[in-house]
Amino acid sequence: MKTTIIFDHPYGQAAGFNEEHNRAFTAAILVHLKEKLIARGDTVDIIDLHADQFDPIMHKNDLINWRTQPFVDEQSQNYLERIQASDELIMLFPIWWEVMPAMTKGFLDKVLAKGQVKIDTPSGQRQLLPTQLKVRILTTIGTPNPIYKLKYRNPVGNMLKKGVFNKMGIKDCKVMNFNAEDISETKRLNILKNIDKYV
């Protein structure tokens, strides 16, 4: 099975090793997840948006391309082709101010562009992404989960599951938010140890 992981954290993958002032639970999840997936026999492809210097801004020419061309740019085309060749897509990012970081949002805007995920045909719209794609969204969040779900209504989860992937015909989409700030180190380590059960 081929799994593609979209990773968005400014500290990068190196922040997954619990070094003071250079650590992120998001990166720690990536490190452990990659190990677990490889151990079960998956081929793992990591798209590290920061390492790739991905530009999330939809510039004027990007929007023109979004409307008139099959792809916004070569980088977006490369990303989409890697997703199309995958059995599973995992998005991994922190939640700040109750929403996703700019790079993740820009990834959605540019990579899942009009001509890339669906096209108009005489009989209606045709999906270009495989609808059997398994999608898992793993986030790290400072807001306690009950508050995020009850007070804020889980905006990122609803947007990605219902507004993006379900809309594209992909039904196997699940969202998991990990609140690492309000739990003990033992519980954090337990999440990392068992991270593969979420994908």
- Taking the model in full, what pTM does it have? 0.92
Q: According to the model, what pLDDT value does residue 128 have?
A: 65
Q: What is the dihedral of CA 131, 79, 62, 173, to 10 degrees?
A: 30
Q: How confident is the model at residue 120 (pLDDT cuts 50, 70, 90)?
A: low
Burial 96-108 (b: 16+ CB within 10 A, else e): eebebbebbbbbb
Position 69 pLDDT exceeds 90: no
Q: According to the model, what pLDDT value does residue 126 have?
A: 64
14-57 pLDDT tens trace? 888 776 767 899 999 999 999 999 999 999 999 999 999 999 99
CATH of domain 2-198: 3.40.50.360
Q: Where does residue 7 fall: left (phi above 0), alpha (psi -120 to 50 degrees), or beta otherwise?
A: beta
Q: Are 116 and 84 in contact (CB under 8 A)?
A: no
Q: Per-residue pLDDT averaged across 174-199, rounded?
A: 89
Q: Per-residue pLDDT averaged across 110-133, rounded?
A: 73
DSSP 14: G
Q: According to the model, what pLDDT value does residue 21 have?
A: 64
82-94 pLDDT tens trace? 999 999 999 999 9
Q: What is the C-alpha separation between 192 and 199, in angstroms, rounded?
A: 12
Position 79 pLDDT exceeds 70: yes
Q: What is the C-alpha separation between 15 and 51, in angstroms, rounded?
A: 13
Q: According to the model, what pLDDT value does residue 174 have?
A: 96
Q: Report the length, in residues, of the chain.
A: 199
DSSP 99: B
* Domain boundaries, given as residue ranges, for the chain: 2-198
Q: Are 118 and 125 in contact (CB under 8 A)?
A: yes
